[in-house]
Structure 1
């Protein structure tokens, strides 16, 4: 090593000058590195959570196997369907004294209805009295339906008896004066090879000879009605029962949640609400068109429940849920997306899904030809909620409900 090389090796190191820019750069570099580490850690944790969730969704069984269906754009809420607050003028009766008064009938001024705990009750002079129970107890919760029964449609016959459709037990005749109960059609006996799993509503001819009733599904029970709607199952049927010959005939099949039933004033046809499809179908039971069927009203502004006659010769139809236009209808949106429906019920219970159904209450009056005469609304369900039926009596509409703990009464003079 020569002298020059030695001097170069012994030359002192230059001191590093630290400036604000240097510190800032180091801080920036450190911050960038920390951000990268944080993002990496977050992504890893997210993947660790998401991958098992996706796997669980894929592996979990869905309780439903939905069929794709399609709807037209709902009718606009204009004209006779213009939103209003007329249902808010109704009064609640017997609040928290009965739950789920689905259907209502009257003999004179005495009202009759069925409740969610399986009872048939009469309401007279402000008092509620149990006259019959079709199932057996103990009863009190929704989980008891299979044994307690669930009275739905109720009608008055020519002999002042009550004809009742029980979702789990079948068709009954009840004599209020004595409390006598006679089963006419048992849901335990299959008809043409299919079960009666969800007996729903009924209509009775004036002479009491024929009863027309619906079974909403041969697969799903009433307690699983949310599954039935979302799956769009097409196994519902309309029947005719002859009280003299005791014979049951299938009149219509392949229906998606057949629900309310109503005879025409001339008793030449019967109307059937096909809830899932937001429409009402017509079946001719007499006359030149006997045995034929057609569409009475389609693409309704909601999903129809029970149908009852109006004093004007038309029909009252209660909507279990609406299809707002303008607005958003969850059932319309999901109708052609079975995969989303499967995921929803893999993750959520029926009760949870029901919480997303808007509490918009709607009753419409149809003319004898099916056109809209008028409509009564409660946009937020502040007074009338979950309406299942509008029964007209003595200038009032009595509004039944499939889950509310009261009956509503609306004075038609006020609206």
Structure 2
């Protein structure tokens, strides 16, 4: 089954690479070399570019002047010939596969949820990532996915898509409607990892509210979004937040409005369809839906992130990142 998943990843990659848009408001940014899956974005606090993780265990930095350049790597092996040519989740256990990333704008530290290798941090200078944790209470994370940093406290929240299946077994997890996903937090002040939620069905993304009062967690398999309260009278409890977004992946906070962007697809047996960017408010109501069929086709959309009137759009298997003017 693992090899089947890899074949499907290659198929999706070829499909996404063949998609072209005539929309002048959309720009494709091809990732260099034999790499794929610019899955998530973190913006440089100076406004000069963004970071993204790709297959083979590399973190790239993009600026309009220089394009994509290598910024960091998850393991020492990430610079090897094997890892530089790795697609999808091939050799992920050796090379790493960055999934969710987010920046602490106060310290400049870049936090990375590496799907098979655990939670990591990268200094502002880049280079080799430092592992923070790959297990809790002796139980390996198995399949990390989404990540966000609380803008008020610097606490890191991250998800595990599944506690039973690894990233190369994602189709099995989806097919069996796995519900072993979890939400964790890491406190840099105490250097401790704590489990906050369990029993999540494909915990893909997470996003902290602008005021730090709650964190949203998407359940990709269940087409649901939950809210976990961080502060206030409901602190430490969770509730259903919205079921209006089909197969939600990463959730990203819009710093300017306090709303959230969600990457959405309609999950089919093999190929995802109908990729959309969906904006929701702090009550879970849909404010805006943007179809991305022309730009991404049958690609597993992973993230929609807003900055300065543009959407930065990532995929799990595609060979490019997209920028769309709102």
In 1, Cα distance between equivalents of 2:163 and 2:239: 23
- TM-score normalised by structure 2 residue count: 0.83
- Work out whether 1:373 is the aligned partner of 2:317: no
Distance 1:255-1:246 versus aligned 2 partners, 3 A rule:
same
1:194 Cα deviation after fit: 2.9
In 1, Cα distance between equivalents of 2:139 and 2:305: 32
- Work out whether 1:149 is the aligned partner of 2:96: yes
- Which residue is 1:387 aligned to? 301
Q: Indicate which of 121, 135, 138 corresponds to 2:60.
A: 121
- Work out whether 1:103 is the aligned partner of 2:48: no
1:385 Cα deviation after fit: 3.4
In 2, Cα distance between equivalents of 1:295 and 1:88: 38
Unaligned runs of 5+ in 2: 5-20
- Work out whether 1:94 is the aligned partner of 2:30: yes
- Work out whether 1:182 is the aligned partner of 2:118: no
- Which residue is 2:16 aligned to? none
**Are the counterparts in 2 of residues 235 and 255 from structure 1 also a CA contact under 8 Å?**
yes
In 2, Cα distance between equivalents of 1:263 and 1:248: 17
Q: Indicate which of 298, 302, 307 corresponds to 2:246.
A: 302
1:305 Cα deviation after fit: 0.4
1:181 Cα deviation after fit: 3.0
SS in 1 for 2:175: helix
- Work out whether 1:168 is the aligned partner of 2:112: no
More helix by share: 1
1:313 Cα deviation after fit: 1.8
1:255 Cα deviation after fit: 1.0
- Which residue is 2:182 aligned to? 237
In 1, Cα distance between equivalents of 2:183 and 2:107: 25
- Which residue is 1:322 aligned to? 266
Distance 1:87-1:167 versus aligned 2 partners, 3 A rule:
farther
1:297 Cα deviation after fit: 0.2
Q: Deviations over 1:55-100 (max 9, x none)?
A: xxxxxxxx9xxxxxxxxxxxxxxxxxxxxx9989522112665410
**Are the counterparts in 1 of residues 57 and 96 from structure 2 also a CA contact under 8 Å?**
yes
- Work out whether 1:215 is the aligned partner of 2:160: yes
Q: Deviations over 1:153-207 (max 9, x none)?
A: 111112122111101111111123253532222x1x3x24532100111111225
- Of 137-146 and 260-269, more deviation after overlay is shown by 137-146
In 1, Cα distance between equivalents of 2:184 and 2:308: 31
- Which residue is 2:258 aligned to? 313
Instruction: Give 1:16-95 correspondences, 5 Å limit.
Output: 89-94=25-30
In 2, Cα distance between equivalents of 1:211 and 1:262: 10
Larger radius of gyration: 1
1:400 Cα deviation after fit: 0.7
SS in 1 for 2:168: helix
CA RMSD of aligned residues (A): 2.3
1:383 Cα deviation after fit: 6.2
- Which residue is 1:112 aligned to? 51
In 1, Cα distance between equivalents of 2:281 and 2:245: 16
In 2, Cα distance between equivalents of 1:301 and 1:183: 33
